[in-house]
Structure 1
Amino acid sequence: MVCALGAAVCFGTATVLQAVAAREATGGGGGEAALLLRALRQWRYLAGLALDGLGFLLQIVALRSIPIYAVAAALASSLAVTGVVAARLLHVRLSGLEWGAVGMVCAGLAMLGLASGAEGDRQGSMALKWAVLVIAVAVLALGLVGGRWSGRGRDLVLGLGAGFGFGVVEVAVRLIDSLAPSALLANPATYALLIGGGAAFLLLTSALQRGSVTTATAGMVIGETLWPAAVGVVWLGDRTREGLTWLAVLGFVVAVAAALALARFGEAPAETETETA
């Protein structure tokens, strides 16, 4: 759980850096790939990627030790970290309700920490591994065409797509049961992890740069928490401590709901807003 919370700190801080860089990358032609290339020229985006890399390593350790639902809720709490970092470094003013949401995230994670058991003992079937790869390819396809869409619902779709991509990473880590090179190459989950993670970054960059950040981030939180948690419980055998299922469910709901209340911190505020605050 400590590793999961460490990953949330890394991801939450990286969000502030990447969001500023994504805004600075505005302008120029091309699609989503061109946007990502322009963002990669920004030092803040690169620093954010370094934090994302560290967070990913911590996430892998957590996923190998505790259930997916606990890790997913902890990662959703990165929005609380982003809000606190923005308040500290960018002098953004948090309302009383938002500070309350930060506190609720902490309370929900504390309940999850008390109630969650060890990771499930079931091996994922080959059918599940192929299904996760199909989802990853679908997320990649959405990332390649999503930038051409317009109209209502676009931000939510991009956010959900990014969330599903990050959810693929969570599930795929559990489906990789051997690190031997031959086993990795033969495992569909390996390719799902790479494709899903890359597509999620593509969609998230597009959502931060062109759409409603609150809507997109809310979609991302939903996409990266609900279905991976369900997969862990139904197909991988994730359980809670004896008699504490109710506490785990309550903690998960509280943490995710409070994270949704902080969805506006999926992006750092604009410079004029910061100066006003």
Structure 2
Amino acid sequence: MPATPGREEVAVLVLGLAAALFAAAANAGAALLEAMATRRHTRAAGVVTSPLYLSGLLLDIFGWVLTVLALRYMPIVAVQAIVSGQVVITVIASHWVFDTPLRRIDLAAAAANVLGLAFLVGSSRTGELPETGPGATIAILVVLVALTAVGITTAVRSRRAVPTAFIAGLAFGGTAVAVRLVDLDGPVAEVARTVVTDPVAYALLGYAVLGLALYTVALARGTVGPVVAVLAVTETLAPGLLGLVLLGDGIREGWAWAFVLGLVLSLGGVVVLARSPAQASLAGDDGVARPPLKRL
């Protein structure tokens, strides 16, 4: 018989789930606002000073904060899968905002993603973080240095977008692992002191900056579909598996089938939607220059 979660565990799960869902919505809203800004201005200076773009940037930051909160209460693999599901929101929303085409397969992929996320959330659990010691800190810093070296080399020497997107996904996954390792419990003053003095907090920032830089390079060199698909799968699976093996995450007894099915459905839906014409139009990869907005 599958294990039944207790009331306290359910409350924690609901808090983490709400944070992850709002993070996905915030990231999707940010993408739409930033797309509007790029379609209204022809110069970069006009884009970055646009109220639409600045609002999108604030939403991005808000979404990141909510993701950090969700990672404190939910398994890494579930949070990363939910946040990557922002592609579902952007594809459907861009149909209404930019009048981009919405295929039947897009609707099917969106439904598969939602169903998969339900299976993932229901089957996974977060346990106590094992005692990691200084070894974990050293490991996460060493991996950051190695990823930075490999990422910069790949970005400079390779003209292909997918390898760069893969390393960007690993970097974003590193932020999820770092969040789990940083001690953010206790009074505000104590948390602030930890953030300033803990090397893992600086590693978290380093992973985020590296991931963003490499993702930008990948988008500049390839079409948005493959880049987003590779990024979503990598930033979900790599830290998710690490969370299951080393960081206290787990699968409920008797729910392994639901976990695997949920992972396949949720990531499969994201991969399909990442290659949607709506997603390409949102990123400006459809060859249509600054189309008029359908709705404001």
- Per the normalisation by structure 2, the TM-score is 0.78
1:229 and 2:235 aligned = no
Deviation (angstroms), 1:247: 0.9
- SS state of the match for residue 126, structure 2? coil
Give me the whole-angstrom Cα distance separating, in 1, the residues matched to 2:27 and 2:212.
12
Superimposed CA distance per residue, residues 211-231 of structure 1 (whole angstroms, 9 cap, x where no aligned partner)? 221121122112201110011
Determine the structure 2 residue equivalent to 1:212. Answer: 223
Give me the whole-angstrom Cα distance separating, in 2, the residues matched to 1:114 and 1:208.
34
Determine the structure 1 residue equivalent to 2:57. Answer: 49
Give me the whole-angstrom Cα distance separating, in 2, the residues matched to 1:239 and 1:46.
39
Give me the whole-angstrom Cα distance separating, in 1, the residues matched to 2:178 and 2:256.
25
Determine the structure 1 residue equivalent to 2:31. Answer: 15
The correspondence for 1:6, drawn from 11, 16, 22, is: 22
Over the matched positions of the two proteins, sequence identity in percent amounts to 32
Deviates more, 1:87-96 or 1:204-213: 204-213
**What's the Cα RMSD here?**
3.0
Shift in CA distance, 257/52, structure 1 to aligned 2, threshold 3 Å: same
Matches within 5 A, 1:170-185: 170-178=176-184, 180-185=191-196
Aligned length: 267
Give me the whole-angstrom Cα distance separating, in 2, the residues matched to 1:204 and 1:20.
20
Shift in CA distance, 82/123, structure 1 to aligned 2, threshold 3 Å: farther
Asked if structure 2 preserves the Cα contact closer than 8 Å seen for 1:161 and 1:203, the reply is: yes
- Uncovered stretches (5+) of structure 2, i.e. residues with no partner: 1-16, 185-189
Deviation (angstroms), 1:272: 4.2
Shift in CA distance, 149/101, structure 1 to aligned 2, threshold 3 Å: same
Determine the structure 2 residue equivalent to 1:189. Answer: 200
Shift in CA distance, 40/206, structure 1 to aligned 2, threshold 3 Å: farther
The correspondence for 1:268, drawn from 261, 282, 285, is: 282
- SS state of the match for residue 239, structure 1? strand
Matches within 5 A, 1:64-143: 64-141=72-149
Give me the whole-angstrom Cα distance separating, in 1, the residues matched to 2:210 and 2:38.
16
Deviation (angstroms), 1:53: 1.1
Shift in CA distance, 269/181, structure 1 to aligned 2, threshold 3 Å: closer
Asked if structure 1 preserves the Cα contact closer than 8 Å seen for 2:224 and 2:283, the reply is: no
Shift in CA distance, 84/204, structure 1 to aligned 2, threshold 3 Å: same
1:61 and 2:77 aligned = no
Runs (4 or more) in structure 1 with deviation over 6 Å come to 22-27
Shift in CA distance, 260/230, structure 1 to aligned 2, threshold 3 Å: same
The correspondence for 1:158, drawn from 155, 158, 164, is: 164
Asked if structure 1 preserves the Cα contact closer than 8 Å seen for 2:39 and 2:290, the reply is: no
Shift in CA distance, 21/215, structure 1 to aligned 2, threshold 3 Å: farther
Larger Rg: 2
Amino acid at match of 1:158: T
Deviation (angstroms), 1:89: 1.0
- Uncovered stretches (5+) of structure 1, i.e. residues with no partner: 28-34
Give me the whole-angstrom Cα distance separating, in 1, the residues matched to 2:193 and 2:53.
34
Amino acid at match of 2:263: F
Deviates more, 1:58-67 or 1:173-182: 173-182
Deviation (angstroms), 1:232: 0.4
